[in-house]
């Protein structure tokens, strides 16, 4: 059952990543990896919120943790893509954009996780 929950969550997370990335690219273009940045920040918020929420509710089935935190966020999050895109920006001589992207992902992700934890602890 645990593997099934991770697989289902991962499938939904991957499809969501594809849809969000495409939606962002249509609106903001592809000259900067806006989609990956937004996905990384929202993934940080979602995992922070959910795990804080789940910790406060001990009656929540552990399968939900597997479905959301491991499966969905594992499929949705794009950290490996972030690393690749960061290096490519730097290799292409885009030092400022590369720096903004790396700092924005790390600082934005941390801030989103803090916000998610805070909100998840309240509800």
pLDDT, tens digit, 9 for 90 and up, residues 60-70: 888 998 999 99
Local structure of 16: helix, strand or coil: helix
pLDDT above 80: residue 56: no
Query: What residues contact residue 96 under an 8 Å CB cut-off, 6+ apart?
Result: none
> For residues 97 and 122, what is the distance between their CA atoms, to the nearest angstrom?
36
Contact 82, 36 (CB under 8 A): yes
pLDDT digits over 60-99, tens only?
Answer: 888 998 999 999 999 999 887 889 899 999 999 999 999 9
Where are the domains positioned within the chain?
Answer: 2-122
| Per-residue pLDDT reduced to its tens digit, 23-47 | 999 999 999 999 999 999 999 999 9
Q: CA angle, corner 19, sides to 75 and 13, nearest 5? A: 20
């Amino acid at each position: 059952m645990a593997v099934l929950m991770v697989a289902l969550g991962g499938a939904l997370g991957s499809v969501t990543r594809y849809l969000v990335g495409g939606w962002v690219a249509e609106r903001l273009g592809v000259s900067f990896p806006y989609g990956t940045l937004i996905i990384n920040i929202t993934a940080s918020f979602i995992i922070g919120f959910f795990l804080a929420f789940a910790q406060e509710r001990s009656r929540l089935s552990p399968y939900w943790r597997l479905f959301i935190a491991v499966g969905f966020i594992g499929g949705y999050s794009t950290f490996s893509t972030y690393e690749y895109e960061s290096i490519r920006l730097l290799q292409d001589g885009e030092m400022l954009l590369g720096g903004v992207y790396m700092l924005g992902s790390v600082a934005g992700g941390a801030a989103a996780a803090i916000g998610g934890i805070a909100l998840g602890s309240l509800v």
